[in-house]
């Protein structure tokens, strides 16, 4: 009788192991299938704000050196600066209706936290190219507030940028055509 009970007990343990193995295999299969299903490639979306259009320079504020002419304005300098970004990713800049710079551009989006506990800066950026080659130092960091484009290298934790080689902030108003 003891041998018969031991045989039933051993068979029960064996069946129990099979059930547990089946459950583990089923659980693992479900997890793998759900991961495979969720790993579908989604299109990459560039969350950078759209800069397409014609922008009229309204003023520049330099952090250093401070002077009586700060901020600089078109009226003070006697120039009109226009920056144009086209849908085909070409751009150009004019000073008093004379083209002074041009090329192609790409926009990007980023963020950084300068030190633990600090707020996180979120920014968009423009990378400038001429003849398909990146321009040395050719990046501007920007944000758009309503119809005003605000360039400042500080968004990207930099001291200078392409349109602000020294420092500060530059503001542009969108022209309605």
DSSP state of 72: B
Torsion, Cα 143 94 104 127, to 10 degrees, reads -40
> Is the pLDDT confidence value at 3 over 60?
no
Residue partners of 150: CB distance under 8 A and separation at least 6: 142, 143, 144, 169, 170, 171, 172
SS3 78: coil
Q: How many C-beta atoms lie closer than 10 Å to residue 62's C-beta?
A: 17
42 has pLDDT over 80: no
Q: How confident is the model at residue 6 (pLDDT cuts 50, 70, 90)?
A: very low
Mean pLDDT value across the chain: 80
pLDDT in tens, 127-174: 999 999 999 989 998 989 999 999 988 777 777 888 887 778 899 999
pLDDT at 158: 79
Q: Residue 157 has what pLDDT? A: 72
**How far is 81 from 159, CA to CA, in rounded Å?**
22
Its CATH architecture, for the domain 53-175, is: Beta Barrel (2.40)
Give the C-alpha separation, 57 to 128, whole Å: 18
- Res. 177: pLDDT tops 60: yes
- Tell me the pTM: 0.70
Q: Compute the distance between CA of residue 138 and CA of residue 135 in angstroms, rounded to an integer.
A: 5
CB-based contacts of 92: which residues, under 8 Å, 6+ apart?
Answer: 83, 84, 99, 101, 102, 103
How far apart (Å, rounded) are the C-alpha atoms in residues 71 and 101?
23
pLDDT, residue 37, reads: 55
């Amino acid at each position: 009788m003891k041998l018969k009970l031991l045989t039933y007990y051993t068979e029960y343990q064996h069946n129990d192991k099979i059930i547990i193995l089946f459950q583990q295999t089923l659980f693992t299969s479900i997890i793998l299938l759900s991961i495979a299903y969720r790993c579908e490639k989604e299109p990459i979306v560039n969350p950078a704000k759209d800069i397409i259009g014609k922008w009229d320079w309204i003023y520049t504020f330099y952090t250093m050196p401070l002077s009586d002419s700060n901020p600089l304005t078109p009226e003070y300098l006697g120039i009109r600066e226009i920056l144009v970004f086209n849908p085909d990713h070409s751009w150009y800049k004019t000073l008093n209706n004379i083209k002074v710079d041009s090329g192609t551009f790409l926009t990007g989006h980023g963020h950084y936290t300068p030190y633990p506990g600090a707020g996180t800066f979120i920014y968009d950026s423009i990378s400038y190219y001429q003849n398909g080659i990146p321009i040395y130092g050719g990046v501007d960091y920007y944000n758009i507030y309503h119809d005003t484009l605000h360039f400042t290298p500080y968004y990207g934790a930099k001291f200078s940028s392409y349109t602000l080689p020294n420092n500060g902030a530059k503001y542009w108003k969108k022209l309605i055509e």
